[in-house]
Structure 1
Amino acid sequence: MNILLTGATGFLGKQLTIRLLQEGHSVYALARNEKKSESLMESVPTALQPELTVVKGDIGKENVGVSEEAMEDLKDTIDTVYHIAAYLSFDDTEKEQLFDINVNGTKRILDLSRYIRVKRFFHVSTAYTLGDQLHAEEELHPLDNPFVNYYEKSKCEAEHLVFSYGEFFNVNIFRPSIIVGDSQTGEADTTFALYGVMRSFEIMKKRLDRQKTSPDNKIKFLCNRDTAQNIVPIDYVVDVLTAGLTHADNKKIYHITNSNPPSNQVVFEALKRELNFYNIQLVPTDYEGELTEQELRFNEPMKVFHQYLDKTLTFDDTNTQELLKKDGTEPLDLNDRVLKTIIAGR
């Protein structure tokens, strides 16, 4: 197949590009500039590079920044579009940029897809479009839900937009939860979420080591130990996305989530063992005691995530399990070995 990707130069996009090329597809990847183009090409094995075509484009621009000549070349050529590109920020002061990239940008790539007459459009969204609900079904969520932030709202609006184009081509929505490293190698190319925590822990450990701080002297980290975070290895996400090429049913939504997510306590115990760092003490995010100046600085980067650390969300993934069964792919098993591999591969 001939496949067009947005977001191909990102963490997920690169891995999906490589997998698609390995499976014999030709990939057309949108890239904003030469530096990103070169980085993507260098990440692809030499033998597969002839099947990768980089197309200059930017979903923040009219016609996705694709030249008229390139648009004509793509017409009646592309079988499937994977729209991965998005703007991720939990800062509500960036509302305008969030909606321009995540909603208007999605409309731009939908319009381009309609113009070049693609057959299918796969929208890679996020599991966190459920607003203030604690459980999500594999269906569109109401736009009038209360949302945690404008990022969630923008992604929910984009999903509704995608389904409105169903008269022009087949559409599907794939909703990954928190993507982490490869389950076999631990390899990851991201500083988001879990990896931001790891980096903070590493910096704090070095600081305490220099201060010759005793392991009995605990540094408080605000995080509810019993709630769970829905992490999924990137190779599992790619498994589901590629299985969709053959087995996705039109207008179905697929949660790429973890049915048995580890608790924060389990994750942080594994992290402390890997870093040999036992000075951390988890306390609830609504902790009423006083934090030292050092603890305040330590916790500051994670403030934005507290609304997610406070609750355990569950996601129905019936559609995804049926998809994987048709594809002969095993469901996710994020066991202790996999968790250790992911943390060790940071």
Structure 2
Amino acid sequence: MINRMSAGDGYQHNPMASGGYVLLTGATGLLGTYLMRDLLLRGVRLAVVVRSRRILSALDRVEGILQLWERQSGRLLPRPVVFDGDITRPGLGLDTDERRWVARHCRAVIHNAASLNFYARPGDEEPYRSNVTGTQHVLDLCRECGIDELHHVSTAYVAGQRRGRILESELNSDLPPGNDYEASKIEAEQMVRQAGLGSVTVYRPGIIIGDSSTGFTSTFHGFYVPLKLLAVFLDKLSAFSSSREELAGHVRASGERLTSLLDLEGYESKYLVPVDWTAAAMAELFCNPAHHGGTYHLTPREPVLVSDIQRVLEESFLENAKVGTSTGGDVGPLWQQFEKFFVDGMATYRAYFKPDPEFDSTATQSALPQLPCPTVDADMLHTMCRFAIDNRFQDPFRPVPRSRRVLTADVAGLPDEPAWQVGIEATGPGGGDWSVQHDRRGTRTVQEGIAADCRSLLRCAASDLNSLLVGEASIRETLTSGRLEVVGESVDADTLQRLLTGSSNGHEQDSEASAERSLDIHDVIVREVVRRTGCPAQLVTPEAEFVADLGIEPAEVADLIAAVAATWGRNGLDEAAMIAVRTVSDAAAQLATSGE
């Protein structure tokens, strides 16, 4: 176990009340992506621990998630502090400076990361490595950094094989768990409750499915597995159907075989819960300290019958299936293939469809009377299936390679007695949180995160901050236009200039003159995209794709580029090259090489 570091080691935990950061694990999972969004929108300052993947950094992955939320909402989001880490490693894989940052800035931890593996395989320690060892590492970090408030995401299925009504106050049972996932989550919750922290809040979701309105999901476990298996099989079977009636018969037969292979009778019930409501409920409970210390079943009042799920799966496939040109044929061999294919594919999830007990949610309903769980009905399940099929069961989040922040911190750690003057919160791509000091020696120091003793806070979009840093805009003009907001103690323009750029009046005058220069090609493209689509300018980044990211029809891209060329005074555009333009930077490069 990691020992708590003393103040002499440089660790000074600062609760900071509402101004402190919250460390979130599991930010890139389905629930984590919604929870990260909802907490940021509520003004909660977040630090997230995310694993990098091959050529993608932790920041690349987080940026992909946040930029998708921004495109969907048309609203810029604040950025969390991002740590490249791993809950299965001691200290969550954070180095000494990073853990010092956590000790100084973070007031609470939300432990959401988990493995969803149902059974441990030979040579693979999951789900115990993530769910048990990972939870122990989180508890060790809390002790090391002096964090006394933990919010732990468990599962309603710590009930194991119990039947009847399961109270939120219950955990232990004489019955064994139904699988390794349940066993690992039971052990993790017991560890959390016995850790001796000052405040422990436990959230127990049911089976999380997609968004209640859009069906959006980034993972396709559990509920989606039989749909995916059926889609693969029935796609082949449709070639043997000469009419929709014949195809419908095959679909009904496959549904009957599905329930037979799983030993289901149809009356079994499942507590499916939409991810958007689950995250909203957690955010509401988290942001109200009066609800801390409780245990909450995040489950619907009424479960869904397995027979209803089966019917929706069949109907969803028929909506998308195409009838083949065959005049029929012997489908017997296909059925044999299906049975083996389906049994193998569902082997891990057979226990998933066992009848659920009744999950009491009295505490949740009492705490959130204004936020009832939506009823999961046939229409909602159809929406879930439609999204999965339309997206071919692919994760819709696309990482943003080589992501960068407009400001770079000088060092990861903070001195023992910082004297920061200004905090910066920049939203949108390239944004982040920083603290900036300009001391008497004229040295400017930038640290990641907004320190507790910042007397003033600057708020702006990352694109506006970048314009200020490179001298394309002036402090006075940006303040006057409202694109830069100062919260807390007032700061004069000259002081802000020194803090941001390390220079004073002369540079301010230079930047004002610079701001009056003609727009460059990128600026003209941004202005034209905003005019045509209403998209926030901050989302029109060089890497943004016209079709996929900005929602511009392929046929309109060439017209947009031609309009920009006319504004910029360019001619002689290469039409063949224009066809290959995908991103904003592609368009800028093409325009830059065209004739004047």
**How does the TM-score come out when normalised to structure 2?**
0.53
Identify which range, 86-95 or 177-186, moves more after superposition.
Answer: 86-95
Q: How many pairs align?
A: 332
The alpha-carbon deviation at position 36 of structure 1 amounts to 4.2
- 1:228–1:311 contact (8 Å) kept in structure 2: yes
**Does residue 197 in structure 1 map to residue 226 in structure 2?**
yes
CA distance in 2, matches of 1:335, 1:269: 12
In the TM superposition, residue 270 of structure 1 has moved relative to its aligned partner by: 1.7
Q: State yes or no: 1:157 paired with 2:187.
A: yes
Question: Alpha carbons of 1:76 and 1:145: their partners in 2 closer, same or farther (altered >3 Å)?
Answer: farther
Question: Alpha-carbon deviations, 1:120-139, whole Å to 9, x = none?
Answer: 21110111111210242112
Deviates more, 1:169-178 or 1:249-258: 249-258
Q: Does 1:72 pair with 2:100?
A: yes
| Residue 8, structure 1, aligned to residue 27, structure 2 | yes
1:284 equivalent in structure 2: none
The answer on whether the counterparts of 2:273 and 2:299 sit within 8 Å (CA) in structure 1 is yes
The one-letter code of the counterpart of 1:141 is L
Q: Which amino acid aligns with 1:160?
A: Q
Give CA-to-partner distance per residue, 1:104-148, whole Å, 9 cap, x none: 210111121222223421110111111210242112422653111
Match of 2:344 among 277, 300, 304: 300
* 8 Å CA contact 1:77, 1:118 repeated in 2: no
| Structure 2 gaps, min length 5 | 1-17, 322-334, 389-596
**Secondary structure of 1:146's partner?**
coil
Distance in 1 between residues matched to 2:96 and 2:105, nearest whole Å: 15
* Superposed displacement of residue 50, structure 1: 4.4
Is this contact kept in 2: 1:106–1:158, CA < 8 A? yes
Paired residues of 2:22 and 2:110 also in contact (CA < 8 A): yes
2:177 equivalent to 1:147: yes
Per-residue deviation at 1:61? 0.7
Matches within 5 A, 1:1-346: 1=18, 2-33=21-52, 34-45=56-67, 48=76, 50-93=78-121, 96-134=125-163, 135-142=165-172, 144-165=174-195, 167-212=196-241, 214-215=246-247, 216-217=249-250, 218-219=253-254, 220-222=257-259, 223=262, 224=264, 225-245=266-286, 246-247=288-289, 249-276=291-318, 292-325=336-369, 328-346=370-388
Aligned equivalents of 2:132 and 2:270: distance in 1? 26
CA contact (8 A) 2:272 2:303 kept: yes
Structure 1 stretches of 4+ moved >6 Å? none
Shift of 1:323: 1.6
Identity %: 27
> Is the 2:227–2:313 Cα contact (8 Å) retained in structure 1?
yes
Q: 1:98, 1:202 → 2: CA distance? A: 28
User: What amino acid is the match of 2:59?
Assistant: S
CA distance in 2, matches of 1:248, 1:186: 32
Q: CA deviation at 1:58?
A: 0.8
Residue 324 of structure 1 deviates from its aligned partner by 0.9
Deviates more, 1:246-255 or 1:194-203: 246-255
More displaced stretch, 226-235 vs 307-316: 307-316
Counterpart CA distance in 2 for 1:278 and 1:187 is 18
Q: Distance in 2 between matches of 1:305 and 1:87?
A: 15
- 1:275 & 1:293 partners in 2: Cα distance? 19
Higher mean C-alpha displacement, 55-64 vs 33-42: 33-42
Does structure 2 conserve the Cα–Cα contact (< 8 Å) formed by 1:76 and 1:118? Answer: no
Q: TM-score, normalised by structure 1?
A: 0.88
Per-residue CA deviation, residues 66-85 of structure 1 (Å, 9 max, x unaligned), is 11101111114223211111
Does the CA contact (< 8 Å) of 2:270 and 2:353 recur in 1?
A: yes
1:243-281 per-residue CA deviation (whole Å, 9 max, x = no partner) reads: 1111553432111112211111111212222221799xx
Specify the alignment match of 2:458 in structure 1.
Answer: none
d(CA) in 1 for partners of 2:159, 2:217: 27
Paired amino acid for 2:318: N
Q: Which amino acid aligns with 2:33?
A: K
Which structure exhibits the higher relative contact order, with contacts defined as CA atoms closer than 8 Å and separated by 6 or more residues? 1
Give the CA deviation at 1:164.
Answer: 1.4
Gapped runs of 5+ residues in structure 1? 280-290
For each residue in 1:8-55, what CA deviation from the matched residue of structure 2 results, as whole angstroms up to 9, or x when unmatched?
111111111111111112111101214443122121146655431111
The one-letter amino acid paired with 2:352 is: Y
Partners in 1 of 2:58 and 2:316 — Cα distance?
A: 33
Q: RMSD in angstroms over aligned alpha carbons?
A: 2.3
Larger Rg: 2
In the alignment, is the contact (CA less than 8 A) between 2:285 and 2:292 conserved in 1?
no
